[in-house]
């Protein structure tokens, strides 16, 4: 008898949204990174620095900016950092979430 080949399941990294605490696949979340240059949006998901993940929903971004993001990035957000995050949040559609 011949053995059936074992089909391997690809591992999908899971991350938690700091706004709503929901666990989702990494690709469905937006990464915010703290680097020596300040806080920025990491579109590649591979930038150097401490990162945190947020849904593409305004409600999650609002709660993240209020304090959860500060805790996750282990830093105080400067006014310039808040402006960058709020500008990005304003470009998001109103509470539309992509499903995996």
CB 84 within 8 A of CB 44: no
CA distance 71 to 79: 16
What number does CATH give the domain 14-90? Answer: 3.30.1230.10
Q: Are 38 and 77 in contact, with CB atoms under 8 Å apart?
A: no
pLDDT value of position 1:
66
- Asked if 34 and 50 count as a contact pair (C-beta separation under 8 A), the reply is yes
The residue extents of the domains of the chain are: 14-90
Which residue in 21, 17, 96, 12 sits closest to 53, CA to CA?
Answer: 17
Convert the pLDDT of each residue in 14-70 to its tens digit.
Answer: 999 999 999 999 999 999 999 999 999 999 989 999 999 999 999 999 999 999 999
DSSP 55: -
């Amino acid at each position: 008898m011949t053995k059936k080949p074992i089909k391997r399941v690809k591992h999908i990294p899971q991350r938690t949204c700091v706004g709503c605490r929901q666990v989702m696949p990494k690709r469905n979340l937006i990464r915010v990174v703290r680097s020596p240059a300040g806080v920025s949006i990491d579109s590649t998901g591979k930038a150097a620095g401490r990162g945190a993940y947020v849904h593409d929903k305004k409600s999650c971004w609002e709660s993240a900016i209020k304090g959860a993001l500060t805790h996750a990035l282990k830093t105080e957000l400067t006014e310039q950092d808040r402006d960058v995050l709020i500008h990005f949040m304003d470009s998001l559609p109103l509470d539309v979430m992509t499903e995996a």
